[in-house]
Amino acid sequence: MQERYNPAEIESRWQEQWEKDKVFRVVEDAEKPKYYLLEMFPYPSGRIHMGHVRNYSIGDVVARFKRLQGYNVLHPMGWDAFGMPAENAAIQHGTHPAAWTIENIANMRVQLKKMGLSYDWDRELATCTPDYYRWEQLIFLRMLEKGLAYKKSAAVNWCPSCETVLANEQVEDNCCWRCDSTVIQKELDQWFFRITAYAEELLAFTERLPGWPESVLTMQRNWIGRSQGCEIEFAVADQEQKIRVFTTRPDTLFGATFMSLAPEHPLAAALTTPERRGEVEAFIRRIQAVDRLQRTSDDFEKEGVFTGSCCINPVTGRQMPVYLANFVLMEYGTGAVMAVPTHDQRDFEFARKYALPLQVVIQPEGETLEPATMTGAWEGPGIMVNSGVFDGLDNETGKARIAEHLEQLGRGRRTVNFRLRDWLVSRQRYWGTPIPIIYCDACGALPVPEEQLPVVLPTDVSFTGEGGSPLARLESFVKTACPRCGGPARRETDTFDTFVESSWYFLRYACPDYGHGPVERAAVDYWMPVDQYIGGVEHAVMHLLYARFWPKVMRDLGMVGIDEPFTNLLTQGMVCMETRSCPEHGWLYPEEAAGERCSRCDAPVVVGRNEKMSKSKKNVIDPDGLIARYGADTARLFTLFAAPPEKGLEWNDQGVEGSSRFLHRVWRLVGEHFEVVCSAGAVDPAVLDESARNMRRQIHRTIRKVTDDIDGRFQFNTAIAAIMELVNGISGWPDKNRHPAVLREALETVVRLLGPFVPHIAEELWRELGHGDGLEAHGWPACDEAALAASSVLIVVQVNGKVRGKVTVPADADDQAVRETALADANVARFLEGLTVRKVVVVPGRLVSVVAE
């Protein structure tokens, strides 16, 4: 055995062996229980970052652990390969998105392989290949047939100068990131998926996902935002038009004194009287220049404009002036709100600003509200007043009664409204899945016939960043024949949101080469659902909601048989680091800021906040350097040991040394004893002395702890700490040489427990300990309950809540005996002197708490 631990040599040797033998390749096997472990696939940005290292190290521990437990483990990897950065690179550096992406994938694949991750690389997929997206196009056609995909108008961020659509992240302070022009909201005809048709089911199933973090489920429930309420029709005075509103507070209908519409409301123009037109149009223009987040925040000034028209309150007959208001959104409800200033804070502020009337209709218990003296709206419960026949009812009863009343009048009905909106999937970009639609002037919008799929993304395009999508300018792509009449027609040039690809890739992993449909039913039936999904907490709502939606659609299309794709979910925290910048040269990479001075101008660097590692702020650590210097095992061990997975991880180089030192120590410990150990026999518990029994107790306590920490809690940091304690215990065990069999059990346990975390060194040491076959053949070590038994326990004694003594009692002592021993302790007695004992609480095996005064 080599004296010195040499990770570079060991790791490349094992990685080659794993690759050559395809040891992580899996096939369906009805004899074995399956376990599908999936980490969120990466966007191929060019280099892996510490967040990937963390995510994939966590996943690999679980994959290897489950394999050791005898599961048939599917552990795939692939590439979320469409997206904006490829297009930005094309605009900035002239590289083609496809070439850029393929090169990035090649680089990152090498990096991942250097980490020793146990993937079945035969299942690798990239979403930018026609073999993948052709099936996405097919599913879209099926959704179209079922009415689950449709087209409607929606607003986008538009830069008038670049003549292009901007992503939210490309808008800075309402200005275009490239040219600084003011961004406006522009209406475009766009494709949507009808996710709202699944709102009830997506919500209901949040109750059936016990393996998900409650915080994620709560966020999803709030995002879906189901609310029970009432749709009410308001007639417009002197016109045929009707305004429909949604309200959760029909009980306040008698207090509705005006109407607020979204500035984008389709009736806005029709209701505007000629003399108001100028002011109204100016207001609409102004609101379009404000982003939605700002518009709806509570501290944003409530503003509006009178249209000149009035509508009629269906129960009071009162004329209600119709306003356009900045805080009303077209996307929520019906885009119109009946304004009850006395019982809604936003309406209250609005009414005060524009001197609109207030009418109290709910009186809280023990108070009498007067419009003249109110300083805010009363949004709580109360008794109905000024509400005709409904006076005297409590408002909850009133909600139902007024709803019934409106239904009888034919002026309203009870409805359920969702905050969730349909999913806008059109992107006016090049690097994405082409939407398979053809537009014919004679026949309209038609699906591309199935046999013509895939609609392949052409590669002969040029990138300027201006003038809209490069696809739309490519004649050879746009010009086509109408599939119905054969006349000249145009192709759809929008591509899909990249969230579409990531909404079903986990299904495709079950059968990545299947050529007759999106998925092979038998393979999906065997592998799905994913048993454990692991990824960043930043995906808690959007990706994870879309990825729950698509399988449900595919189920209803008869393609899969599952309701939910992910049985268990682990959301990992982000890897963060302080930013460093130079007043002269901007953000600095860590190596440019060595010694806290800028490497270029020697100015003192400014140390910024701790933030998510990102290329743009240069607060990144390149895992390659780490692996080259310490080896993959150390890099894995450190990221796992530094913090529990859910927590954010602040990068700190110094900790890495510690992890490396530990592996060197384990190597030496085995090296010093492997000859003795290899010739040792099996442990005979009957002949052991106390020292050996104590050693065995620690061995088996550690097995139990590590098993529980990996399996139930994903607390890898404490699992590793426990193994470190065991190693410390073995090193300091004075009777090592008297008990070769126990020493062998101890060392073998360390190596086996380390296997999932640091597979290369563990496999190597396992062979050194004289085993001809691999770790996996021996499975996961079992905890011997008999070895755990201890003869005595330490009991802490508290007097009035403070620790005053510690006593050792036999493990089987009863409460009375424990109590007596505790009270007899010298220090305890000292603190009880002159006091009367009122109460003694005995917690078996733990503590005695004495209350005295």
Residues 630-659 that bind RNA (CB under 7 A): 641-644, 647-650, 652, 654-655, 657-659
User: What is the Cα–Cα distance from 428 to 158, expressed in whole angstroms?
Assistant: 11
Give the CA angle between residues 371, 376, 382 to the nearest 5°: 75
Query: Which range touches RNA (CB under 7 A), out of 442-450, 579-587, 683-691, 826-834?
Result: 826-834
Binding mask 35-74 for RNA (x = CB under 7 A): --------x-------------------------------
Measured in degrees and rounded to the nearest 5, phi and psi for residue 570 equal: -120, 120
- Residues 320-349 interacting with RNA (rule: CB under 7 A): 331
- Residues 183-242 interacting with RNA (rule: CB under 7 A): 188, 190, 214-216, 218-219, 222-223, 225
Question: Which token pair is 770?
Answer: 């004289």
611 binds RNA (CB under 7 A): yes
Of 277 and 661, CB closest to RNA: 661
Find the binder of RNA among 426, 698, 707, 749 (CB under 7 A). Answer: 426
User: Which amino acid, one-letter code, is at 755?
Assistant: G
Could you tell me if 135 and 52 are in contact, meaning their C-beta atoms sit under 8 angstroms apart?
no
> What's the closest the beta carbon of residue 558 comes to RNA, in angstroms?
27
Question: Which token pair is 744?
Answer: 């062998």
- Residues 165-184 interacting with RNA (rule: CB under 7 A): 165-170
| Alpha helices (H) along 115-248 | 130-145, 199-204, 214-224
Residue 251 to residues 228, 305, 386, 415: CA-CA distances in angstroms?
13, 27, 11, 15
Measured in degrees and rounded to the nearest 5, phi and psi for residue 698 equal: -65, -40
> What's the closest the beta carbon of residue 727 comes to RNA, in angstroms?
7
User: What is the Cα–Cα distance from 148 to 141, expressed in whole angstroms?
Assistant: 10
421 binds RNA (CB under 7 A): yes
Find the binder of RNA among 181, 288, 386, 800 (CB under 7 A). Answer: 800
Question: Which token pair is 307?
Answer: 């249209």
Query: Which range touches RNA (CB under 7 A), out of 81-89, 117-125, 594-602, 623-631?
Result: 81-89
| Residue 803: strand pairing partners | 798
**Dihedral sign, CA of 504, 509, 513, 517?**
negative
Give the CA angle between residues 803, 809, 812 to the nearest 5°: 130
Of 30 and 293, CB closest to RNA: 293
| Alpha helices (H) along 22-129 | 50-68, 84-93, 97-114
**Dihedral sign, CA of 263, 268, 273, 278?**
positive
Of 78 and 314, CB closest to RNA: 78
Element housing 164 (H / E): strand 164-166
Of 321 and 432, CB closest to RNA: 432
156 binds RNA (CB under 7 A): yes
Find the binder of RNA among 427, 508, 636, 744 (CB under 7 A). Answer: 427
User: What is the Cα–Cα distance from 71 to 34, expressed in whole angstroms?
Assistant: 5
Query: Which range touches RNA (CB under 7 A), out of 31-39, 242-250, 589-597, 800-808?
Result: 800-808
Of 680 and 807, CB closest to RNA: 807
| Residue 571: strand pairing partners | 535
DSSP secondary structure code for residue 79 in this structure? B
User: What is the Cα–Cα distance from 121 to 512, expressed in whole angstroms?
Assistant: 11
3-state DSSP assignment of residue 309:
strand
Q: Count of CB atoms within 10 A of residue 238's CB?
A: 8
Find the binder of RNA among 317, 366, 681, 732 (CB under 7 A). Answer: 732
> What's the closest the beta carbon of residue 667 comes to RNA, in angstroms?
11
Q: Count of CB atoms within 10 A of residue 541's CB?
A: 14
Question: Which token pair is 234?
Answer: 């308001």
Find the binder of RNA among 85, 130, 357, 458 (CB under 7 A). Answer: 85
Find the binder of RNA among 105, 149, 256, 420 (CB under 7 A). Answer: 420
Of 525 and 538, CB closest to RNA: 538
Closest listed residue to residue 130, CA positions, set 190, 82, 76: 82
Of 298 and 451, CB closest to RNA: 298
> What's the closest the beta carbon of residue 293 comes to RNA, in angstroms?
6
> What's the closest the beta carbon of residue 418 comes to RNA, in angstroms?
8
Q: How far apart are the first and last CA of the chain?
A: 66
DSSP code per residue over 734-772: TTGGG-HHHHHHHHHHHHHHHTTTSHHHHHHHHHHTT-S
Of 478 and 542, CB closest to RNA: 542
What is the pairing mode between strands 149-159 and 72-74?
Answer: unpaired
Question: Which token pair is 360?
Answer: 């109290």
> What's the closest the beta carbon of residue 718 comes to RNA, in angstroms?
5
> What's the closest the beta carbon of residue 70 comes to RNA, in angstroms?
27
> What's the closest the beta carbon of residue 522 comes to RNA, in angstroms?
29
C-alpha neighbours within 13 Å on the C-beta side of residue 61: 29
Query: Which range touches RNA (CB under 7 A), out of 352-360, 363-371, 379-387, 727-735?
Result: 727-735
Of 219 and 741, CB closest to RNA: 219
> What's the closest the beta carbon of residue 63 comes to RNA, in angstroms?
21
Could you tell me if 83 and 431 are in contact, meaning their C-beta atoms sit under 8 angstroms apart?
yes
- Residues 497-556 interacting with RNA (rule: CB under 7 A): 497-499, 502, 537-543
Of 309 and 495, CB closest to RNA: 495
- Residues 261-300 interacting with RNA (rule: CB under 7 A): 292-293, 296-299
Of 182 and 452, CB closest to RNA: 182
3-state DSSP assignment of residue 512:
coil
380 binds RNA (CB under 7 A): no
> What's the closest the beta carbon of residue 273 comes to RNA, in angstroms?
33
Of 2 and 222, CB closest to RNA: 222
- Residues 557-576 interacting with RNA (rule: CB under 7 A): 574
DSSP secondary structure code for residue 604 in this structure? B
Size of the site for RNA (CB under 7 A): 103
Query: Which range touches RNA (CB under 7 A), out of 102-110, 252-260, 309-317, 839-847?
Result: 839-847
Query: Which range touches RNA (CB under 7 A), out of 19-27, 92-100, 589-597, 801-809?
Result: 801-809
Of 9 and 653, CB closest to RNA: 653
Find the binder of RNA among 77, 84, 125, 627 (CB under 7 A). Answer: 84
Query: Which range touches RNA (CB under 7 A), out of 306-314, 414-422, 504-512, 760-768?
Result: 414-422
E runs forming strands in 313-411: 319-325, 336-339, 362-363, 383-384
Of 146 and 846, CB closest to RNA: 846
> What's the closest the beta carbon of residue 375 comes to RNA, in angstroms?
17
User: What is the Cα–Cα distance from 588 to 616, expressed in whole angstroms?
Assistant: 10
DSSP secondary structure code for residue 851 in this structure? E
Question: Which token pair is 257?
Answer: 């004194």
Of 524 and 575, CB closest to RNA: 575
Give the orientation angle of helix 759-768 with respect to helix 740-754, to 10 degrees. Answer: 150
> What's the closest the beta carbon of residue 774 comes to RNA, in angstroms?
27
- Residues 481-500 interacting with RNA (rule: CB under 7 A): 497-499
Question: Which token pair is 788?
Answer: 């755990």
Find the binder of RNA among 720, 751, 754, 769 (CB under 7 A). Answer: 720
Query: Which range touches RNA (CB under 7 A), out of 262-270, 686-694, 717-725, 772-780?
Result: 717-725
Find the binder of RNA among 394, 725, 776, 784 (CB under 7 A). Answer: 725
416 binds RNA (CB under 7 A): no
Question: Which token pair is 853?
Answer: 């005064």
